[in-house]
Amino acid sequence: MKLEYEIYIGAEPEKVWEALVSPEGTKAAFFGSELKSSFAVGAPFEYVGPGNDGDATVHVYGTIEAYEPGKKLAYVEHPGPSYRERHAELTSRVTFELEKAGTTTKLTLINDEWSENHPAADNARGAWPMVISSIKSWCETGRTLDFGW
């Protein structure tokens, strides 16, 4: 399975990049979670935020595959330990690419290379549109979206 999304955001690539990697941006766009990593290729990362296990729930973790500031972030991810018993066996790859398009930024998100029978694939199909919509909203207005949860 390959999930692919393209969206144009009325902000410079630096602002969109901030939404992808800064604590403020990731908390706004990724359901209150902060992306924690050194961002070196091969380094570990975690999205940590509010969840069933409290405020320090690891929602997703994995390894950084590519990190080109303002251009590309890619990682191999696993669901957090509180979500799946076999979390270490379950993987997919996520790639964000940014491209300047006039006075806007084109954000391309690809989620592919799913391990066989990955139970979170359907969840991702529903969650990614919310994430990229939140990125767009935060970059353009400084506000997050309220999905009513």
- Catalogue the E-assigned strands of the chain: 3-9, 34-37, 44-51, 54-68, 72-79, 92-101, 104-112
Q: What does the pLDDT read at residue 53?
A: 66
The domain segmentation of the chain, as residue ranges, is 3-97+105-117
Residues 6+ positions from 133 with CB-CB distance below 8 Å: 7, 145
As a whole number of angstroms, the distance between CA 79 and CA 59 comes to 6
H/E stretch holding 110: strand 104-112
pTM for the structure as a whole: 0.93
Per-residue pLDDT of 103-118, as tens digits, reads 999 999 999 999 998 9
Average pLDDT over every residue of 65-92: 94
Per-residue pLDDT of 14-66, as tens digits, reads 999 999 999 999 999 998 899 999 999 999 999 999 887 667 889 999 999 99
Q: Which CATH class is domain 3-97+105-117?
A: alpha beta
Q: Closest by alpha carbon to 142, among 30, 28, 47, 31?
A: 28
